[in-house]
Chains A and B, each alone.
Chain A
Amino acid sequence: MSVAVQLTYAMAKELGAQRLELEGAKTVADVLRMTRERFAADPARYDELTRVAAVAVNGVLVHYKRGAKTPVRDGDTVAFVKAAAGG
C-alpha cells in the first residue's frame, strides 16, 4: 500500500525530493510521523516548515474529516498545503 506525499517547496528542497512515496501508512498521523522521520537529522526543521501548513488528503483538508485519525488508502495523495494568494 503506497501513499504519495506532496511536500511544500521548502520541505522538498530540504529533502531533495518533490514527493515521497510511503508504504504502510494507515492514517494521516502515520503519514505525518513517517514524513517527520525523513527529517531525522533535524526534526525541529520539520516542525518549523509545517507549522503553518494544513494537511489535505486528495485535496480535502483533514480537519473536515477526522483530523490525524483520517484513514489513508492505497493511491491517496496527502499534501502539506500553505495558505497563499495568486491571481
Chain B
Amino acid sequence: MIKGYAGRVLEVDLRARTFSFAPLDEEIARLYIGGKGYGTRLLYDRTPAGIDPLGPENLLIFATGPLNGSVAPQSNRFAVICKSPLTGGIGNATCGGSFALGMKKAGIDILIVTHRADRPLRLEIDGDRDAVEFLDAGDLWGQGTYATQKLLSRKHQHAVIGPAGENLVLFAGIVSNERIAGRTGVGAVMGSKLLKAVSVRGSRKLDMEDPEKFKAYTKEVRKLFEDHPVLGESMKRYGTGGIVNTTNGRNILPTRNFQKGHFDRAMDISGEFLEDHELKGVKTSCIHCPVTCGRDVEVEGVGVVKGPEYETLALLGSNLEIGDIKKVSEWNYHADDLGMDTISLGATLSFAMELVERGMLDATLHFGDQTGITELIQDIGHRRGLGAELADGTKRLAAKYGGHDFAMHVKGLELSAYDPRGSFAQGVEYATTNRGGCHVQGASMYMESVGPLTINPQNLKLKADIPIMQQNIACAINSMVLCIFTTYGMIPKAVHEMDPSSFTHRALAFAFENLPGWMLRGSMRIKGKPMLWFEKWLTYITGTTFSSGHLQEIGARIFNLERMYNLREGLSAADDTLPPRILHESTFPDMDSGHPLHLLLPRYYKKRGWSADGVPLPRTLEKLQVRV
C-alpha cells in the first residue's frame, strides 16, 4: 500500500444494513490522490447517468487523502462527493473539523454510503474492531447540529446533518464540530438517505515514507506560517473577515443582491470590527492548524458559538444591506445549527428581497431590514411557508417567480462574495467551475483583486490562464485534502511588505501581467523537485515525488473528469455562464457593460484542450489519462 493511506475503503449499505471493507484502489490513488479526486472517480464509475440526486441510487462519499491524519498545518479536512441536488451536476464540498482525523485513525480512506435507510439512522464505526453499528437516530432527528454532536459519544469524531439536511433543503451541508461542508447540497443527500450522523473512531497511526524529514520540515513550515503576513498575521488576527474592507475598496463586495460592489457600512461587518468589539477572545482552528481563522462570538440567548466568516459577513451582511454584525452572527449561528450553507442562504434571501422590491413576490422582506429574517431562516431549515420555496435556492425561485436577470447563481449554485465585474479571472472561474458559482475551486481573485501582487483585474490579459492554473491546483489540494487557504501563503512575506506604489512592486506586477499565458501555465507544468510545502509533505509521506507540474496534471485530470461527469448529466457549454446582471450591468463608472465572458470563454476552452462547445477533446482526455 502506498504510504500515507490507510489502505481501506469502507462501503455501507443503509438499506441492507451491511458493510464491507475493500482495499483502496492504488491506481485511482496514483491518478487522483484521494479526497475529491478519488470520490469523483468513484461517483463517475459507480452511478448511471441521470439518477435523482435525492434518490437512493446517489452515492454519498466521504473521502480523505494522504495528508489527513498527519500533523501538517491545514491538513485535517475531508471531502464529500455526490451528485448535487442543487445543480444536477457534480456535488462536492470540503470541511475542517475533526472527522478526517477520525477516519484515518479508524483506518479508512474512503467511506461510501449507498441506498437509503428505512428510518432515521446513525452510524458508529470502530476502525480498530472493523465494526459498523447501525443505530436508531429517531431521538436525534430534528435536533440541530450543535445539540446532535453534544448528544453523541465523545470518543468518536462526527459528521452530522441538522434539520436542513433532514428536510432536504437543497443547500444543506454536513457539519463536523463547528465547520461545515457547505456547498452544493451534500447535506440534503445525507438527509435523503435518512442518515443523521456518522461517528468514527480508531487508534491507527499514519504510516509515512520519511517521518523524520516530514517532522523536521513541518516544524519549518509552522515557523513560515507564523511569520507570514496573511497566515500568521491578518487571518490569525481578523479571520477571513479581514478582507471585507479590501473587497469593499475594490468595489467587489456584493451589496443589495449584487446591485452594487460597495457597502457604506462595510467596516461594521469587518473582521477588524469583530476583533475590536465582538470577539470573545477565542480564536478557533481546525485540528493542527496554527492559522486559527475561526472566530467565536457571543450570540444572545445562545452563548459563545462560531462567528461568521467572510462569505457569511458579505452574503448575510452587505448583500442584504445589513450592517449589524450581531445580527449576522445570530443568523450565522442559526444556519450552522440548521446545517446549511450561508452563501446560498444569503444569496437566496437577497434574491427574494429584490423580487419583493420589484413587486414580483409578495412578502415582507426588504433590503436593510432585519425584521423576520431569523424566523425566515428557521422556516427555510424546516421548509415551512415561504421558507419552503427559498429552501430550493435561487435558480428554482427564479423559475417560479421570474427574475432570471438578477438571479445570482451559476449552474444553480449561488455566487460567492467576489463580484466578478471587478475580477475578470474570477468570473471565468465562476462560469467554468464544475460545481457552479464558487470561489474556493481556484480563488483567482487573489491574483487580481485582493492579494499583495495583483494584475489589472479588468482587462483580458491572463484572464483565461489564471483560472485554469488555479482550478487545477485547487482540485489537487482538495484531493490531498488540504485547506485551500494554504495557497495564500505562496506569495512571500517580502512582497507583502512592499509599498504598492514603489517602482519594484509595480515592475513586478507589470512583469506578471505581461507574461504570455503559455509561459505562465508552462512554468507551472514543469515536473521537477517538490518546492512548496504541500508538494514536500506529499513527497515525504507517500515516497512519490510531487512537484507543481505533477499537481497541475493531476488537478487537470480531476477537473476534466468532473467536466465529463457534468456533460454526462446533461450540463453543457450553455451552463458556463454568469448571471445576466454580471454580464450586462456595470458597477464601475468607467465600464459601459459587465463581465466580458464572451471574449474569454473561447480562449479558456481552447487552452483547456476543449472543443468550441466546451467538450474535452479525445486527445486531452487521453493525455491526462481520463477514462470515460
Q: Say whether A84 contacts B499, CB under 8 Å.
A: no
Q: Which residues of A contact B272 (CB under 8 A)?
A: 9-10
* B248 interface neighbour in A6, A10, A54, Cβ under 8 Å: A6
**Is A82 interfacial (CB 8 A cutoff)?**
yes
Closest to B268 in A: A18
Contact call A9/B422, Cβ cutoff below 8 A = no
Identify the closest chain B residue to A9 (Cβ). B272
Partner-binding segment picked from B210-218, B397-405, B439-447: B439-447
A82 to B590, CA, bound (A): 22
- Residue in B234, B245, B496 whose Cβ sees the most chain A Cβ within 10 Å: B245
State in angstroms the CA–CA spacing of A84 and B228 once bound together.
12
A53 vs B247: C-alpha distance when bound (angstroms): 13
Most chain B CB within a 10 A radius of its CB, from A13, A64, A67, A76: A64
Does B331 sit within 8 A of A, measured CB to CB? no
Contacts A52-B499, A53-B500, A80-B249 given; indicate if A86 touches B310 (C-beta within 8 A).
yes
Q: A51, A59, A63: which contacts B262 (Cβ < 8 A)? A: A59
**Nearest residue, chain A, Cβ from B591:** A60
For A54, list chain B residues within 8 Å (CB): 500-501
| Shortest beta-carbon distance from A17 to chain B in Å | 10
- Tell me, yes or no, whether B458 is within 8 Å of chain A by CB: yes
The 8 A CB mask of A32-74 against B (1 = contact, 0 = none) is 0000000000000000000111111011110110010000000
Interface 0/1 of B249-275, CB less than 8 Å to A: 111100000000110100110111100
Segment of B158-166, B388-396, B448-456, B609-617 engaged in the interface with chain A: B448-456
Contact pattern, B 287-311, Cβ under 8 Å of A = 1, otherwise 0: 0000000000000000000000111
Query: Are A59 and B242 interface neighbours, CB within 8 A?
Result: no
Number of interface residues of B (CB under 8 A): 55
Are A9 and B249 interface neighbours, CB within 8 A? no
A63 CB contacts on chain B under 8 angstroms: 500-501, 506, 509
CA distance A38 to B444 in the complex (A): 36
Are A81 and B246 in touch, CB under 8 angstroms?
Answer: yes
Within 586-621 of B, Cβ neighbours of A (below 8 Å) are at 587-590
List A contacts of B311 (CB < 8 A).
86-87
B428 within 8 A of A: no
B139 surroundings in chain A (CB, below 8 A)? none
| Residues 184 to 242 of chain B near chain A (Cβ within 8 Å) | 230, 234-235, 240-242
Give the docked Cα–Cα distance between A18 and B244 (Å).
14
Q: Which residues of A contact B261 (CB under 8 A)?
A: 59
Whether B251 pairs with A56 at a CB distance below 8 angstroms is yes
In the bound complex, CA of A59 to CA of B245 (Å): 11
* C-alpha gap A87/B165 in the complex (Å): 23
Q: Are A82 and B248 in contact (CB under 8 A)?
A: no
- Residue in A6, A10, A13 whose beta carbon sits within 8 Å of that of B249 in the complex: A6
User: Given contacts A84-B450, A85-B235, A85-B450, are A8 and B485 in contact (CB under 8 A)?
Assistant: no
Neighbour of B458 across the interface among A19, A60, A67, A81, CB < 8 A: A60
- Check if B243 is an interface residue, CB within 8 A of chain A: yes
Contact of A85 among B267, B446, B588 (CB under 8 A): B446
**Known A52-B498, A60-B458, A63-B506; contact A82-B245, beta-carbon cutoff 8 A:** yes
Q: How far, in whole Å, are A32 and B188 apart by their CA atoms in the complex?
A: 52
A79, CB-defined interface residue at 8 Å: yes
User: B422 to A59, Cβ gap below 8 A?
Assistant: yes
Establish whether residues B443 and A87, one from each chain, have CB atoms under 8 Å apart when the complex forms.
yes
Nearest residue in B to A77 (C-beta to C-beta)? Answer: B262
B residues within 8 A CB of A9? 245, 267, 270, 272-273
Q: Residue A12 at the B interface, CB < 8 A?
A: yes
Q: Which residues of A sit under 8 angstroms from B268, Cβ to Cβ?
A: 18
Contact between chains at B242 and A84 (CB < 8 Å): yes
Q: Is the C-beta of B538 less than 8 angstroms from some C-beta in chain A?
A: no
Neighbour of B588 across the interface among A51, A58, A79, A86, CB < 8 A: A58
A84 to B451, CA, bound (A): 6
List chain A residues, Cβ under 8 A from B587.
59
Tell me which of B251, B270, B273, B311 has the highest count of chain A C-beta atoms within 10 A of its own C-beta.
B251
On whether the beta carbons of A56 and B270 are closer than 8 Å, the reply is no
- A12 to chain B: which residues have CB within 8 Å? 267
Q: Interface digits, B309-329 against A, CB 8 Å rule (1 contact, 0 not)?
A: 111000000000000000000
The answer, yes or no, to whether B27 is at the interface (CB within 8 Å) is no
From A51, A53, A59, A64, name the one whose CB has the most chain B CB atoms within 10 angstroms: A59
Separation of A58 and B250 alpha carbons in the complex (Å) = 7
Cross-interface CB contact of B240 among A53, A81, A83, A87, cutoff 8 Å: A87
Collect the chain B residues with CB atoms within 8 Å of residue A86's CB: 235, 240-244, 247, 271, 309-311, 450
Which residues of B sit under 8 angstroms from A51, Cβ to Cβ?
499
The answer on a CB contact under 8 Å between B439 and A87 is: yes
Q: Does B488 contact A (CB under 8 A)?
A: yes
Q: How far is the CB of B500 from chain A (nearest CB, A)?
A: 4
Least Cβ distance of B605 to chain A in Å?
27
CB-CB nearest in chain A for B241:
A86
Task: Say whether B245 contacts A85, CB under 8 Å.
Answer: no
Docked complex Cα distance between A86 and B488 (Å): 9
Question: By the criterion CB–CB under 8 Å, are B234 and A84 in contact?
Answer: yes
Give the chain A neighbours of B440 by CB distance below 8 A.
87
B485 CB, nearest partner CB in chain A, Å: 6
Query: Which residue in A8, A59, A77 is a CB contact (below 8 Å) of B252?
Result: A59
A13 vs B245: C-alpha distance in the bound complex, in angstroms? 14
B485, A87: Cβ atoms closer than 8 Å: yes
Asked if B250 and A59 make an inter-chain contact with CB atoms under 8 angstroms apart, the answer reads yes
- Per the 8 Å Cβ criterion, residues 407-447 of B in contact with A are 422, 439-440, 443, 446
A contact residues around B241 at 8 Å (CB):
86
Contacts A59-B588, A85-B485 known; A67 to B501 CB distance under 8 Å? yes
Judged by a CB distance under 8 angstroms, whether B174 is at the interface is: no
A1-36 contacts to B, CB under 8 A, are 6, 8-10, 12-13, 18-19
Q: Which residues of A contact B264 (CB under 8 A)?
A: 19
Give min CB distance, B502 to chain A, whole Å: 10
A11–B589 Cα gap in the complex (Å)? 26
B residues in contact with A87, CB < 8 Å: 240, 309-311, 439-440, 443, 484-485
CB-defined A-B contacts under 8 Å, sample of 15: A9-B273, A12-B267, A18-B268, A56-B251, A59-B252, A64-B456, A79-B248, A81-B249, A82-B246, A84-B243, A85-B240, A86-B310, A86-B450, A87-B439, A87-B485
- Besides A12-B267, A51-B499, 18 new A-B residue pairs in contact (Cβ under 8 A), listed by A number: A8-B245, A10-B272, A52-B498, A55-B501, A56-B249, A59-B588, A63-B509, A77-B262, A80-B249, A81-B249, A83-B450, A84-B242, A85-B242, A85-B485, A85-B488, A86-B309, A86-B450, A87-B439
